[in-house]
Amino acid sequence: MDENRLDKALEESFSDTRAVFTEHVNDPAKYIEDAIRSIRKCKCEPFVIKATVLEPGLEGKTPGDTIQGYCVAKSNGYWLVYEPKEGTFYCFRGTSVENLGVRGIVGGALECWLA
């Protein structure tokens, strides 16, 4: 997939903050702004990556299924992944790219990064 299309999907995702949980912070706008800055700082050259769906599963996917997409940012065991067919982001977790899992964190880039 074209890197410009992935970057566009990521940047467009920042405009939808409805699903971002902010009740625990004093300044939601700053919290979201800091998250966007963090994602941009952790952006990487996109590459295909996969993860195994873990318990309790995801809507339409059961534990053991595999999800594949393009990693667009990574930091400390968090891998922000875009799946273009679904047009959604996932947060894969794990320390080794060969052994990643995904558990219930799906939606916009901010929602996934902050989960």
Residue type, 15: S
Beta bridge partners of 74: 79
Low-confidence ranges of the chain (pLDDT < 70): none
Please tell me the pTM assigned to this model. 0.93
Pairwise CA distance, residues 28 & 6, whole Å: 26
What is the SS3 assignment for 22?
coil
The per-residue b/e assignment along 67-79, b for 16 or more CB within 10 angstroms, e otherwise, is: bebbbbbbeeebb
* pLDDT at residue number 54: 95
* pLDDT at residue number 64: 96
* pLDDT at residue number 74: 97
* pLDDT at residue number 115: 84
Query: Count of H helices and E strands in the chain?
Result: 3, 5
What are 84-89's contacts with CB under 8 Å, separation 24+? 84/1, 84/5, 84/6, 84/9, 87/9, 89/13
Report yes or no: 107 and 115 within 8 Å, Cβ to Cβ: no
